[in-house]
């Protein structure tokens, strides 16, 4: 028996396009001799649909698409296709669905399609409601296993979170399952691939059942899905693994319920994973939202250099426009480095000098600012001039502005509202500054790229600076990034207390300052554009701190 793992990229709400992608994948698998194809979680609707799942018409559209899909797949005689989809008991009911009413008849489902019919449907039992997930808002559960027979093998379906806990696996085994098929919509974060294999290994040790794990690929708003689908035998050994961040189909031979050794994709380094996630995230956000291209404010610094590199790798240089907006504080080497990088990547490059605009603002404000010393107000005016110019170009061209702020800056508020925060998509908002440098060096040296050394070395070696006043560096206002990033990771991502971080060896004054700035900057982050989630906890949908709060943690 041959089972195909279909790691395909679909779009939320595009039932027509998703149906076509499923049929194409099934056709390829059928031509390769597969008897069974396993698709990702909610592949028919795209994942996650969020509050579209509160629209009755969404379930009606899903039911119509599922019927049409079964009919179109009927030409592949004898091919079993496992398809994830939203399911409502009465798909065409008009009763409103409300977030304040516990769901009772809507489910996260996976159906087996065979010869034009729905052979059977499994309803997800364990609904995640942590981190970026809130499935209990939309779905009910039905704790019943579903097992079907194929070529003498009893196959059970579980969906994503079901495999993270023992109960659903034990119930499937009790119902006679010999092989577990697991469609997933498991978003990427650092270390996630090891976490998945650890969880699957634990379930195999408990049950003695082999597992086929098929994950989603592509990006949906903030979330990036990395694929990395795999098959493990009853001993917990990985016998097949698909590449991360690449769509495709893998065919695995089975002797009964026992998977035979197949191709195992090489593991990616941390830098390779993160860079690929950024590329996929930018490409899908721009493509799926039909933007003609992107605009980037290029500063001659490391953050905008990384964003420019990612954008070119994601979209091609012909869809990327870089704009340098020097002021009287911009160093000549910054201009030279920006020009050099734009030339190496062959992107459209413009320079718009802002000193005269800045002087006009100063003149307009001179009377009301009389007697007041210059401070961050004048620095922020420059950033806002640049933001206004980029948004003007965006309005004229239709291209989206990619912001260039990193996680370290977003954490402590080292950014300007309506200035460098102005834009439509924050590519590196979950990338700490120290990781920014690692990614740039990776991009410059990796054999994965034909064109290397695209980021001028001076950008990577000079002290980072916002260049909003004379002789400015980031460390005038911030602790060293190695310190800032480590404290941020422990406090924000790992949830450690300030006292624990001090006990780990950090200066109390640094911990107090950084944690205070993280809290004070919440009002800024709430107004920032969405951006890609790379770590286990990003500022965004899995960070929900109040803006108005008087709570202070004692160190």
Active-site position among 41, 193, 379, 493: 41
* Predicted local distance difference test score (pLDDT) of residue 478: 83
Q: For 449-459, write each residue's pLDDT tens digit.
A: 999 999 999 99
Check residue 38 and give its pLDDT.
98
pLDDT in tens, 269-279: 999 999 999 99
- Selecting among 160, 232, 312, 415, the annotated active-site residue is 160
Note the pLDDT of residue 377. 96
- Structure-token pair, residue 404: 């260039």
Contact 170, 206 (CB under 8 A): yes
pLDDT at site 541: 87
Asked if 238 is an active-site residue, the reply is no
CA–CA separation, 167 and 169 (whole Å): 5
- Is 124 an active-site residue? yes
The pLDDT value recorded for residue 475 is 80
Q: Which residues of the chain have pLDDT under 50?
A: none
Q: Write the DSSP string, 14-78.
A: -HHHHHHHHHHHHHHHHHTT-SEEEPPTTTTT-S--GGGGG-HHHHHHHHHHHHHHHHHHTTSTT
Choice among 50, 77, 98, 124 that is catalytic:
124
Q: What is the pLDDT of residue 555?
A: 78
Look at residues 25, 59, 30 and name the one whose alpha carbon lies nearest to residue 40: 25
Q: What is the pLDDT of residues 149-167, one digit of tens each?
A: 999 999 999 999 999 999 9
- Annotation says 507 is catalytic: no
């Amino acid at each position: 028996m041959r089972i195909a793992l279909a790691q395909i990229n679909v779009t939320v709400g595009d039932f027509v396009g998703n149906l076509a992608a499923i049929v194409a994948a099934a056709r390829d698998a059928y031509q390769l001799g597969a008897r069974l194809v396993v698709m990702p979680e909610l592949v028919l609707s795209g994942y996650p649909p969020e509050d579209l799942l509160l629209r009755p018409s969404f379930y009606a559209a899903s039911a119509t698409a599922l019927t049409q899909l079964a009919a179109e797949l009927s030409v592949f005689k004898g091919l079993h296709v496992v398809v994830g989809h939203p399911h409502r008991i009465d798909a065409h009911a008009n009763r409103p669905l409300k977030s304040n009413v516990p769901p009772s008849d809507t489910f996260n489902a996976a159906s087996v399609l065979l010869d034009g019919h729905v052979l059977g449907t499994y309803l997800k039992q364990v609904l995640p409601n942590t981190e970026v997930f809130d499935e209990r808002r939309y779905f009910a559960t039905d704790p019943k296993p579903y097992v079907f027979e194929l070529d003498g093998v009893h196959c059970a379906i579980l969906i994503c979170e079901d495999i993270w806990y023992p109960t659903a696996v034990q119930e499937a085994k009790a119902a006679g399952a010999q092989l577990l098929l697991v469609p997933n919509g498991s978003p990427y974060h650092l270390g996630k691939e090891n976490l998945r294999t650890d969880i699957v290994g634990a379930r195999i040790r408990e049950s003695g059942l082999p597992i086929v794990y098929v994950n989603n690929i592509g990006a949906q708003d903030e979330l990036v899905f990395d694929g990395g689908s795999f098959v493990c035998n009853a001993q917990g050994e990985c016998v097949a693994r698909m590449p991360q961040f690449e769509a495709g189909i893998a065919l695995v031979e089975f002797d009964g319920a026992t998977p035979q050794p197949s191709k195992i994709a090489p593991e990616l380094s941390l830098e390779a994973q993160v860079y690929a996630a950024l590329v996929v995230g930018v490409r899908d956000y721009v493509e799926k939202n039909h933007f003609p291209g992107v605009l980037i404010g290029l500063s001659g610094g490391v953050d905008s250099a990384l964003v420019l590199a990612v954008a070119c790798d994601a979209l091609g240089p012909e869809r990327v426009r870089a704009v340098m907006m020097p002021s009287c504080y911009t160093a000549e080497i910054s201009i030279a480095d920006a020009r050099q990088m734009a030339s190496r990547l062959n992107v459209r490059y413009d320079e718009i000098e802002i000193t005269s605009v800045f002087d006009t603002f100063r003149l307009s404000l001179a009377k009301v600012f009389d007697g007041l010393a210059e401070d961050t107000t004048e620095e922020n005016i420059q950033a806002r001039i640049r933001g206004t110019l980029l948004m003007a170009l965006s309005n004229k061209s239709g291209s989206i502005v990619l912001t260039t702020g990193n996680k370290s800056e977003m954490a402590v508020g080292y950014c300007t509202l309506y200035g460098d925060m102005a834009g439509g998509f924050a590519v590196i908002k979950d990338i700490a500054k120290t990781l920014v440098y690692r990614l740039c060096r990776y991009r410059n040296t990796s054999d994965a790229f034909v064109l290397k050394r695209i980021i001028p070395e001076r950008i990577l070696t000079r002290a980072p600076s916002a260049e909003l006043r004379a002789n400015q560096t980031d460390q005038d206002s911030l602790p060293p990034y190695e310190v800032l990033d480590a404290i941020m990771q422990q406090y924000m991502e790992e949830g450690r207390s300030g006292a624990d971080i001090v006990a780990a060896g950090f200066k109390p004054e640094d911990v107090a300052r950084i944690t205070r700035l993280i809290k004070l900057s919440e009002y800024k982050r709430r107004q920032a554009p969405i951006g890609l989630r790379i770590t286990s906890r990003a500022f965004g949908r899995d960070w929900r701190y109040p803006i108005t709060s008087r709570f202070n943690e004692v160190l």
